[in-house]
Structure 1
Amino acid sequence: MKLPLSLLALACALSPLAAADRPNILWLTSEDHGPQMGCYGDPLARTPHVDALAAKGMIFKRAWSNAPVCAPARTAIISGLFPPSLGAEHMRSEVAMPAGAKMLPQYLREAGYYCTNNAKEDYNLTKPGQVWDESSAQAHWRKRPAGAPFFAVFNAGQSHEGQVYRRPHQAVLDPAAVRVPAYHPDTPEVRRDWAQYYDNVSTVDAVAGGHLRDLAAAGLADDTIVFYYGDHGPGLPRSKRWPGDSGLRVPLVVHFPPKWRHLAPKEYAPGAQSDRLVSFVDLAPTVLSLAGIAPPAAMQGRAFAGPHQVDGPAYLHGFRGRMDERYDLVRSVTDGRYIYLRNYWPHVSQGQRVRTQFQMPTTQVWRRFFDEGRANDAQSIFWREPKAPEELYDLHSDPDEVRNLASAPEHRVALERLRGEARAHAARIRDLGFLPEAEIHARAGRAAPRDALATDAAYPFARVVAAAETAAGGDPGAVPQLQAYLKDADSGVRYWGVMGALMRGPAATQAMREGLVAALEDPSASVRIAAAQALARHGAASDLPRALDTLRACADPTRTSAFAGIAAMNVIDELGERARPLLGFVRGMEVRDPQTPSRNNDYVQRLKGIVLERFGEEPAPTGRKKRN
């Protein structure tokens, strides 16, 4: 039966997608900015504009970025998916999105929204077509067509990590007034950096205030739902890049004017503080819900507002993969009180030498304290090798996360519950991060990793994760199982067999020597690199030349890939003097993989410079400088 045109017109007018019935949505974001704000109870913070927004809106007390660094965090925001499920957890990895998937603004634009981004994107995903109507430093909701609702994002970079150590700086907050976290040494350098961070937060608060004034001056405040959030924790070491609460917890403030109060979270009230657990994967489905669009079933987040809002999760999940040029593999989960971290690379410290991080005075003085034996136990955790395979902290009694309760009998129930949730979550999302980055790309080719590795034939998830658990568990009695892994048909399992030897040291490496030597010829570059590291670090002197030959071959991105090059150059750097025979090769090596996006080649170039500096040589200037 066909409806008369007059009835169709009436139906469209009453639709939740009709322009007059859809809210404008404004996102005000800031970089490297945790919940150090007045509205979150911090007495040192001077944030009057966001505090005023919170007083008439609502804050989420337990909001997490899913990653403690910008690009993977923004990947979760723009996709509504956990980056490890996409093969996109590694910094600026640029992988393809699954077939049919879209980025948040694409759904909104199809529904008639004018979408602008000013200006940072920095996704770990290649864009599937045009995402924004405009994404630039000039992008603004003012440019929208008449009558169109807008979704506008403004990103403030004045709180970025690089601004914490930018000098000269005219201090506003007295460094003597700051609270130094238990994990940092109490030195003038640390106090100055923390004070400057607070000053920078005041600056981005003022930027937010300017955008709110513009909205009001245009007469749009009553028509616009406003979000304010930071993209991950503070830009200081042990916050940024670390997937604990200090690196993942962010401010999230929302304001719904009376006109749109019916779309607000069910617990919303002016000045309220929500206990709901929220993370960045929830932002995309929430905005779609506010626009009257049912979130796609494939999205892994949960809408917390709008007609499609659902109950909140019992847990939040975080992760850490490659942070700039350094690899790690950590998964974290919180129920709001306890936080659990599983370290699958316990042989490296929390405080790996990430070049950008070491430009900060706090990092430099903190490392010096540790090297000189002046750091106390809480201050030493960040630098110790190996780190604990499992960590458990009670955020109520230990907000600085320095008392690991993983071995405490009285917290055994909490440990097992969160451990179980971490494993269940990995299975639910089919976490691809248990494969090395180079292996993900080798298997996926130019396809989206989530699509290419969707079957057990392509990625035997349960077997690979079981091997990772065994390898990272540290049990000396697991050597026979690790040896069996070396003969597995899947290179991901073989990789973890090799890593188990590396993590256990000389005894395991000697016991597994025959298999490790054979692994130097493995078809997988990731397995070859790991075997070379184990033999060069823990094997006999006679093993070193062959191990170095393997690293030389794998480090050349024109023979393997930029991702294998990053992994191999990390090992060369870690080996120090044992790798000196490779100096001539490193000096003249090619750093461009023509099949890989340039941002990943940049990390090969960076590591080349780091290795040359280690051996007392001056690296050639690259002419490139990136914020991260």
Structure 2
Amino acid sequence: MRRYGSWKTWAIALGVLWWTTGMVPDAVGQAAAEQTRPNILWITCEDIGPHLGCYGDPYADTPNLDRLAAKGTIYIRAWSTAPVCAPARTAIISGMYPSSTGSEHMRSLITPPEGVKFYPQFLREAGYYCTNNSKEDYNLEKPGQVWDESSTKAHWKNRRPGQPFFAIFNFTVTHESQVRRRPHRWIHDPARVRVPAYHPDTIEVRQDWAQYYDNITTMDRMAGEKLKELEEAGLADDTIVFFYGDHGPGMPRCKRCPYNSGLQVPLIVYIPPKFQHLAPPDYKPGGRSSRLVSFVDLGPTVLSLVGIKPPAYMQGRPFLGVYAAEPPAYLFGLRGRMDERYDLIRSVTDGRFVYIRNFMPHLPWGQHVEYMFETPTTRVWKQLFDEGKLTPEQAYFWQVPKATEELYDLATDPDEVHNLAADPAYQGKLKELRAVLREHILQTRDLGFLPEDEIHARAGNGSPYRYGQSKDYPLERILEMAELASDLKSEQIDKLLHGLQDSDSAVRYWAVTGILARGQKAYDAAREPVLHALDDPAPSVQIVAAWTIGRYGSPEELQRALDVLKVFVDYEGKGPYLSMLALNALNDLGTKSEPVKSVVESFNPEIRREHGRLGENLFKLKRSILAKLGADTTTGAATTMR
């Protein structure tokens, strides 16, 4: 921790006394404390990677952010915790990994642990005026009032005179939905765009990437207006400014995928001269920091900047301020359910190498997420795959199975298309990152290894986090079965069958998932136990058993499987999570689902208010199933920004 001169120590101590006790010694003391506290402005945007001029991208046109970087510091190794907005923003607001709180799934709503506050609540208690303009999109229920104002009209100008502020302005012009918005007049020349190695080089792909850059330039202008507004108000010298994106680009294989391409974000921080004492050694005006920064670090860092010690439950490390911590050696990423499609992926980087563990390798990276398929790049890419016209690097996104483990060297392969996991020269790094990721899963008590319905059911009326931290959660046993289930190079049918007898339903869920992933031969060896699992006490086990039987069983066995799945189509009395899982199974079975077509057609997923953000997913799955069965799919819920 840094040492301060006597006047600074006095001022900070006075401020801490006020913040922590609520005592205001006198008007002079209050004014002195306020004058030593920085304002903090966050300028954020949606769905961009480090595609800015200040990051060395010659195709980018970002003069305002480049000027901010020239007097501040850019972080070249900053990662979102998730490659999609809701879990990413949940990590920021809580300072906790979504996998620890059970909030990793896109558009879920989780009860936070009792006593946990979001970081703006600490700031407000300390006298800060906190505004958010305006996206929230948290997967955690808000624990009381979080913001003084959160709306499209929220602004630091509405605070009382002299009151320090924390303000967020979030720009949506770079969002995925705007990349495909047509008509569009391209400013960046599509012919000059760099097409990453995982994308096919077509006009559709080039136009989408060029429009992405056009949108970044528009956002840069908007950011410049906010910075100018701050200067004209005479507040630039009193305000620490952050700029960052909420996850990687809104392009397929970036957004929703916990590669570096989906997790790396630009992060620029400017600290005015009067607050340079809050900067660590790696901060240099006009500099570049190689410190690893995660989204779970952002909330604790803001608290540290204003002299508040982050609470112990926050899992992030402050990288600025009086409580700045040692840099982490690794960053971690995750993927759970993305809209209507389930998957479980975890990733880790040391800044150079990226390791990915796919726990559901039987599902392709490019599952049919309806919202993703609205982008022209996605559609032409899939079409070329179906026509057999892609290179191996381009085809991998759509192939089944995907590799259980992936390892990439960003120094030589920035597009992450050459998997080194089987290369003898990299086995040391593979084992290191595999072990680091496993330890992180166990240490953070990762709840993603539970079926989504059980995240809620096991918590009862409490928080999933509290359950996950308790001895009642047998994570190590569950994880061992998930690792075995996803290791397709190892048949281990006997161990999977043994797992089907386990007392814990999540172990049984992974055991039957391992049989599903291994195909016909595994099912033939495990037929009777899998059929018996149709009567398992756990609904998620029943559903995956039915999915397995539907894929590989006889016509008579298929009918038994469909009889189970159709029970879970309507979520009433069972919940939307089981309905989504059953509908995913029916969708995968394609025309084999024909006998339950009428059940799907009659299903009207008018979700109750507490499940409102999930109803759209059920409509999408209904449309997808009926499209495969040749039914009319023109009606249903409209899509919204995500």
Partner residue in 1 for 2:580: 566
Q: Does 1:257 align with 2:265?
A: no
Partner residue in 2 for 1:337: 352
CA contact (8 A) 2:330 2:351 kept: yes
Q: Does 1:390 align with 2:419?
A: no
Distance 1:13 1:487 in 2: 70
Distance 1:165 1:74 in 2: 23
Partner residue in 1 for 2:208: 193
Partner residue in 2 for 1:617: 631
Listed as ranges, the matches of 1:346-495 within 5 Å are 346-457=361-472, 459-495=473-509
* 1:44-70 deviations in Å (ceiling 9; x for gaps): 000000000000000000000010000
* 1:517-547 deviations in Å (ceiling 9; x for gaps): 1111112111111000101001222210110
* 1:103-137 deviations in Å (ceiling 9; x for gaps): 11111111111110001000111111111111000
Distance 1:211 1:123 in 2: 25
Q: Does 1:151 align with 2:163?
A: no
SS in 1 for 2:398: coil
SS in 2 for 1:251: strand
* 1:39-97 deviations in Å (ceiling 9; x for gaps): 00000000000000000000000000010000000000000000000110000111011
SS in 2 for 1:597: helix
Distance 2:458 2:484 in 1: 23
SS in 1 for 2:470: coil
Task: List gaps (5 residues or longer) in structure 1.
Answer: none
Aligned AA for 1:273?
A: R
* 1:141-195 deviations in Å (ceiling 9; x for gaps): 1101122111100000000001111001111011000010001111111111100
Aligned AA for 1:341?
A: I
Aligned AA for 2:475?
A: F
CA, structure 1 residues 494+13, in 2 after alignment: closer, same or farther (shift >3 Å)?
A: farther
CA, structure 1 residues 554+12, in 2 after alignment: closer, same or farther (shift >3 Å)?
A: farther
Q: Does 1:212 align with 2:239?
A: no
* 1:432-456 deviations in Å (ceiling 9; x for gaps): 0011111111212332101133323
CA contact (8 A) 1:558 1:590 kept: no
Aligned AA for 1:474?
A: L
Partner residue in 2 for 1:498: 512
Choose the corresponding residue for 2:284, options 266, 269, 279.
269
Q: CA deviation at 1:507?
A: 1.1
CA, structure 1 residues 17+275, in 2 after alignment: closer, same or farther (shift >3 Å)?
A: farther
**Higher mean Cα deviation, 435-444 or 299-308?**
435-444
* 1:263-321 deviations in Å (ceiling 9; x for gaps): 12321111100010001000000000011100001100000000000111000000000
Q: CA deviation at 1:560?
A: 1.2
CA contact (8 A) 1:316 1:334 kept: yes
Listed as ranges, the matches of 1:160-175 within 5 Å are 160-175=175-190
CA contact (8 A) 2:445 2:468 kept: no
CA, structure 1 residues 279+14, in 2 after alignment: closer, same or farther (shift >3 Å)?
A: farther
CA contact (8 A) 1:324 1:603 kept: yes
CA contact (8 A) 1:486 1:498 kept: yes
Listed as ranges, the matches of 1:108-147 within 5 Å are 108-147=123-162
Task: List gaps (5 residues or longer) in structure 2.
Answer: 1-13, 18-22
Give the aligned CA root-mean-square deviation in angstroms: 1.7
Partner residue in 1 for 2:553: 539
Distance 1:68 1:74 in 2: 10
The number of aligned residues is: 622
SS in 2 for 1:327: coil
Aligned AA for 2:593?
A: A
Partner residue in 1 for 2:543: 529
Q: CA deviation at 1:596?
A: 4.2
**Higher mean Cα deviation, 14-23 or 420-429?**
14-23
Partner residue in 2 for 1:32: 47
SS in 2 for 1:73: helix
Aligned AA for 1:85?
A: S
Partner residue in 1 for 2:239: 224
CA contact (8 A) 1:79 1:281 kept: yes
**Higher mean Cα deviation, 30-39 or 601-610?**
601-610
Partner residue in 1 for 2:4: none
Choose the corresponding residue for 2:33, options 14, 18, 42.
18
CA contact (8 A) 2:546 2:564 kept: yes
**Higher mean Cα deviation, 586-595 or 338-347?**
586-595
Q: Does 1:279 align with 2:310?
A: no
Q: CA deviation at 1:617?
A: 2.5
CA, structure 1 residues 15+292, in 2 after alignment: closer, same or farther (shift >3 Å)?
A: farther
Distance 1:392 1:17 in 2: 53
SS in 2 for 1:154: strand
Distance 2:610 2:547 in 1: 24
SS in 2 for 1:28: strand
CA contact (8 A) 1:178 1:195 kept: yes
Distance 1:514 1:204 in 2: 59
Partner residue in 2 for 1:557: 571
Distance 2:316 2:327 in 1: 10
SS in 1 for 2:454: helix
CA contact (8 A) 1:17 1:291 kept: no
CA contact (8 A) 1:561 1:593 kept: no
SS in 2 for 1:226: strand
- Percent identity, aligned pairs only, is 54
SS in 2 for 1:520: helix
Distance 1:473 1:184 in 2: 28
TM normalised by structure 2 equals: 0.95
Partner residue in 1 for 2:11: none
CA, structure 1 residues 139+469, in 2 after alignment: closer, same or farther (shift >3 Å)?
A: same
Aligned AA for 1:150?
A: F
Q: Does 1:582 align with 2:596?
A: yes
Distance 1:531 1:624 in 2: 32
CA contact (8 A) 1:17 1:292 kept: no
CA contact (8 A) 2:100 2:468 kept: no
Aligned AA for 2:177?
A: G
Partner residue in 2 for 1:296: 311
CA, structure 1 residues 336+16, in 2 after alignment: closer, same or farther (shift >3 Å)?
A: farther
Aligned AA for 1:488?
A: D
CA contact (8 A) 2:230 2:236 kept: yes
Distance 1:359 1:485 in 2: 40
